[in-house]
Structure 1
Amino acid sequence: MQMKKWLYTLLVVVLAACSNEIPEQQPAKRSGRTVLAYLVSNSPNSLEINLQNNVVDMYTALAGSKDSCTLLVFYRPQEYQSFLDVPTLLCFDTDGRGNINGSPALSGGNLTFEGVCQTARKKEYTLNSQVATDPDVMEEVFADMQKEAPSDSYGLIFGSHATGWIKGTSFQARAFGDDNGYNIDIPDLADVLKRSFPEKKLDFVLFDACMMGTAEVGYELKEVTSHCIASVMETPIYGFPYDQILPYLYTQNIDYSAVCHEFISFNKKSNQWGTCAVMACSQMENLAEAVKAKLFEWQEALPSISMQKVQQYGISGGRRDYRYFSYDLLDFFRELGRKSGMAEADLNEAVASVQTALNQAVIAKDCLSGEDYAFGGLVIDDTRFCGIGMYIPGEYNRYVTNKTVWNNYYKQSISWYHAAGWDELN
């Protein structure tokens, strides 16, 4: 009888060790930071292959890690075109000695998206009539992630299509995400994160998505995360080089300048374009106050400002037209200062209050500048690139006077509009 009981216990242990499904019991809390990723590729303009490559690169980074760490990836696949049949949470633990989920890490010809998925612990989701950008779905996934990997803190990567603060479905905008045409607007996304991480345990949110590096986005996230990593431009479809940047994202004190540099260097080697910046979201209130004070000081010059002289970050092409959705924040005030009668030699001193607030709010930045790295006719001048952009409403910018949907939504829903004082100008 004792022998039978011992054999039964051994069998249970072996079966549990061999299972790839997420176990029901509560895991031990992890020290340090756990990295989470939320990737959505189910759109007509699919990023499926690129997001699959991103997952493989993340796995590669784990395989080379010298420390134990955890990665959880929610992957919404392109319907009927992916190895995964349904949205799936993929879980990976590395022991820092080349093993992932208890087995030697894949390499060579075995290192494929399919192979990586097969080695993961998994939870599958049946969305029925819901989509991956539905707030209820997102909250469920974030709860599952934290249940699977309780941690001192988290970092969160979002990968999909996006159009910054612009409301989804307007002018072919996607806000964040594209699950067969459905997306989530940035204020709603901030609310989801606030509810999902009530203890403000998000050290960073990284947007591997277009046009998210704006003051409007950073301000919406100020109560959600410590840092926001994003590009103010449309981003190349390859995304971030995760095999290079993921190790930085696990360190106690993240070298954000290195993250920006690795992204821009990767784009340069790929003969692409790009910008990258990191906002310290806790400083966005101070930046808003500095912007508001300067707008009030120079408001009489607003009607005469030459917006075509300000560095802007949107392009027009295909079915989209994002020109003038975002202007360089500091370059805007330089031009406004000129129209206020400031001499060129005095401009730096005149915008010093905004520059000081920017230095605190934008803690890292990098870009590819010049004609060699133009995108859709848009050329970035690194001497005018402050890191982030800002929308100039239609009352003060003739280029977007007819963007009624943009302007109405901006005034009604985007917190930066009020924080920066646009609503109080005469």
Structure 2
Amino acid sequence: MKKWLYTLLVVVLAACSNEIPEQQPAKRSGRTVLAYLVSNSPNSLEINLQNNVVDMYTALAGSKDSCTLLVFYRPQEYQSFLDVPTLLCFDTDGRGNINGSPALSGGNLTFEGVCQTARKKEYTLNSQVATDPDVMEEVFADMQKEAPSDSYGLIFGSHATGWIKGTSFQARAFGDDNGYNIDIPDLADVLKRSFPEKKLDFVLFDACMMGNAEVGYELKDVTSHCIASVMETPALGFPYKQIFSYLYSENIDYSAVCHEFISFNKVNNAWGTCAVMDCSQMENLASAVKAKLSEWQDALSSVSMQNVQQYGVNSYKYFSYDVLDFFRELGGKSGVAETDLNEAIASIQTVLNEAVIAKECIPNPSNSSFRVDEARFCGIGMYIPGEYNRYVANKTTWNSYYEQSISWYRAAGWADLKLN
């Protein structure tokens, strides 16, 4: 009798533990959402990312279906409830329970409370950082071990500066762990190795300046869709309470995701753009851009870049120009009559309509001097190299890195052009 009671006690205690168990869990059907959040930077997003985690938890609590969320959180050193980088795991049963207990609410619904209810794995990085490829691969492997799934969606939350290299000057590419980041080609390689079966339905960048053709092209062999903003993203981030139900649905309504993001920013008197790239179409877009650049290359030196919608601000001004608006300007300088211009750029427009499947923007934000012309907003931007753009001719670091490391440079035909 005592032996039976002892065995029962062991089982109960094991069931009550909030540490990640060693045994292999059952495979989940549908999609599991993963988040990789990095806040350890001088310009910290700590409070904002903590609020994002609470909003994700709240959305799970209101879900009518069982689903799983895994969050890797790299806290700001000495500023967070969490002492070390930690993987937080949450399962909801669709009936208001998370990890087997009623979901937190009211005054208990805090970041600290959410962390206490999670199953956790802690990481000791030593001399490494959260943007180190080895660390990222380890975390993604742990996520998939903890929650085997038919497919995944992945959220990245941190600072970012698009395709721009971040190690030789003050830029971030993606992530900022005390000044260390990961460049986009390296990030794509990490994801290829971590998800070799291309099980990522989407990558959502809750980070600045990632909605560019260069980023979408790097990710074309990694994920089906990329959700991002071509501009700086307000620190509040995405409205997870509003969009989480879409991210778990079998067929994601990407237009609704963009709309919720823009509506949220409007309510909070912020700015914003949001677009969704179908990464399977990025090769076709590169081919269309390459063909049109080749056809109109003699007019490149005549393009007035100040007439093209650009999306950078401050030190990142001119890092990205609207793809379609650039070809409108280029076509106008190539001798195409204005009445025929739309037909002349139809090849770009058609492929863009397939590559950018959802987009929305705030054209005149009240608290920003930066204006987006909605009529000229195609959703995504691209860099115009210094040979053809006097505004970035002196950006030698940008231009050399772009030519040497960014796949879009060759795929889109820039490398094949001959200066007049």
Matched residues in 1 for 2:91 and 2:174: separation?
A: 28
Tell me which residue corresponds to 1:9.
Answer: 7
The equivalent of 2:62 in structure 1 is: 64
Deviation at 1:5, TM superposition (A): 2.5
Identical aligned residues as a percent: 87
| 1:7-406 paired onto structure 2 within 5 Å | 7-316=5-314, 321-370=315-364, 372-373=365-366, 375=368, 377-406=369-398
Looking at structure 1, the residues matched to 300 and 253 of structure 2 have their Cα atoms a distance apart, in angstroms, of 38
Instruction: Return 338-347 or 388-397, whichever deviates more.
Output: 338-347
Distance in 2 separating the partners of 1:407 and 1:207: 24
1:414 aligns with 2:412: no
- Quote the Cα distance in structure 2 between the aligned partners of 1:347 and 1:9: 78
1:382 alignment partner AA? E
Moved more, 162-171 or 271-280: 162-171
Q: Which residue identity does 1:335 align to in structure 2?
A: E
How many residues align? The count is 418
> How far apart in 2 are the matches of 1:12 and 1:387?
56
Q: Does the Cα contact within 8 Å between 1:312 and 1:327 map onto a contact in 2?
A: yes
Deviation at 1:378, TM superposition (A): 1.9
Structure-1-length-normalised TM-score: 0.97
The amino acid across from 1:261 in the alignment is H
Question: Which of 411, 416, 419 pairs up with 1:424?
Answer: 416
Return the offset for 1:374: 6.2
* 3-state secondary structure, aligned to 2:150: strand
* Aligned partners of 1:277 and 1:364 also within 8 Å: yes
How far apart, in 2, do the equivalents of 1:160 and 1:109 lie? 27
- SS for the counterpart of 2:81 is coil
Q: TM-score, normalised by structure 2?
A: 0.99
In the TM superposition, structure 1's runs of 4+ consecutive aligned residues that sit over 4 Å from their partners are none
Matched letter for residue 417 of structure 1: Y
Q: Distance in 2 between matches of 1:229 and 1:123?
A: 28
Letter in 2 for 1:329: V
Shift of 1:4: 2.2
RMSD: 0.7
In 1, Cα distance between equivalents of 2:231 and 2:158: 14
CA distance in 2, matches of 1:343, 1:50: 50
- 1:171 CA drift (Å): 3.9
Q: Is contact 1:374-1:380 (8 Å) kept?
A: no
- The one-letter amino acid paired with 2:219 is L
1:6 Cα offset (Å): 1.4
CA distance in 2 between partners of 1:344 and 1:379 (Å): 25
Give secondary structure in 1 for the equivalent of 2:181.
Answer: strand
Structure 2 runs not aligned, ≥5 long: none
Which stretches in structure 1 are left out of the alignment for 5+ residues?
none
- In 1, are the aligned partners of 2:269 and 2:367 still within 8 Å (CA)? no
